Structure 1
């Protein structure tokens, strides 16, 4: 089964969907969409560094994404204006990454695969990394679920319960960095935030508890992967954008049914 490139793509997408749903729910609750963009855009710089020093793409993107996550968390803790700061970091990180990658001849011809993903080129080693990373992040989210939910919904209540919101914010930031590194081969740096936000936003209107929203977001993300890859195969469209387009369709459908 793993010799079939389409099945490998489906398994890679489902591995990402498994963790993107719950983590995306926290991104929506905490209004961290711009934070996700900043971390994802910085991944391009990680790609350039990985190719320049001949190391794993995952290692390069993870190192830069973690650095960006720690930087943003530190600036937020110091009271910096979130919207302006994240806007500057997001676009600056993307611009610096694109400039850096232009100095790496091997990456110029394959730039679109890093921006929009190349899920159909996923190999067995990629599958192992994606599923291992997704399982680790999901295990952390489950282990700290109540702390993360409490600090996301009400930081004052969290502090009263002995929970440090800064620690939980850092945990989410690092988890987001790991997912960004995993997702760059699946949907690319420009579409990672969409895979986190759109399924969670679609599930939000129907879920009555945080747990149901997280599970619903994971199911919608998984359905988006399958539908997007099927559409890509039938209509010869880019796989990453097709997956995100499918997620957007589920969001529109959820809004229409909700209003109805």
Structure 2
């Protein structure tokens, strides 16, 4: 009997794979104050699910395509002077609403909306694992390749231009990586909780790290710990797995904040 025959082992591997992809990318989301950007992109994925089911395509392909289109659209509109927070709020909720309405028009297709909204990690298959870990590897490879340029563009656009770095190109790299994370995470935590998995581990790691690289590593570790601990608690107490994982991450964030407060008081 293979280890992968155990649904809990598959779920644990899925949680770790998503954490490794989402947490380092989440650091850039936190640094650039792009939280709502991640929200809008992930909410759009439900429309991708509807299109995939309607066209008999893999869910991953539809979610990735629509998330990428949404991210590119937001980037282009923001460059034309639209107020970013308002724009993201409108597009995030509109995309989710359109996706939910589109799903309701699918005749003869049985779909568990709760699974796509809040995740269904315990139902992860071997194929899902392959998709998740391949996506995570691509995201990590992309971030490693562009790490220095991404950091420079994040710190200061003028500094980036002086160093020969094109901020628009680095924004495109982040957009692609974000769409990939949304597509691989939809099975684990669902579209409503993806942004939480991006932001909370990175925000938790921020007070504990002294360099960007250490923050990314710490965020990945915190994300993986949240996934495994949340999965264990979910199994033990029979609670929804995706929300439980996010609750554990939120608890770790609270501990990190309290620890930072004590250290500042002592200092």
With structure 1 as the length reference, what TM-score do the two structures score? 0.98
Query: CA–CA distance in 2 between the matches of 1:11 and 1:186?
Result: 11
Aligned-residue CA RMSD (Å):
1.0
Partner residue of 1:191 out of 185, 190, 193? 193
Q: State the match for 2:235 in structure 1.
A: 233
Matches within 5 A, 1:11-50: 11-50=13-52
Q: State the match for 1:157 in structure 2.
A: 159
1:5–1:120 CA contact under 8 A, matched in 2: yes
Q: Deviation of residue 78 (structure 1)? A: 2.1
CA deviation profile, 1:2-39 (whole Å, cap 9, x unmatched)? 00000000001100111111100000001110000100
**Consecutive unaligned residues in structure 1, runs of 5 or more:** none
CA deviation profile, 1:182-234 (whole Å, cap 9, x unmatched)? 00000000000000000000000111110011001000000000110000000
**Consecutive unaligned residues in structure 2, runs of 5 or more:** 263-267
Distance 1:108 1:88, change over 3 A: farther
CA deviation profile, 1:29-85 (whole Å, cap 9, x unmatched)? 011100001000000000000111111000110110111111111112222211111
Distance 1:106 1:133, change over 3 A: farther
Q: State the match for 1:175 in structure 2.
A: 177
Other structure's SS at 2:210 match: coil
CA deviation profile, 1:142-195 (whole Å, cap 9, x unmatched)? 010000011111111111111111110111011100100000000000000000
Count of equivalent residues: 260
Matches within 5 A, 1:118-157: 118-157=120-159
Q: State the match for 2:92 in structure 1.
A: 90
Q: State the match for 2:265 in structure 1.
A: none
Query: CA–CA distance in 2 between the matches of 1:78 and 1:124?
Result: 44
CA deviation profile, 1:93-140 (whole Å, cap 9, x unmatched)? 011011101112466650000000001100001101110111011001
Partner residue of 1:8 out of 7, 10, 18? 10
Higher mean C-alpha displacement, 108-117 vs 127-136? 108-117
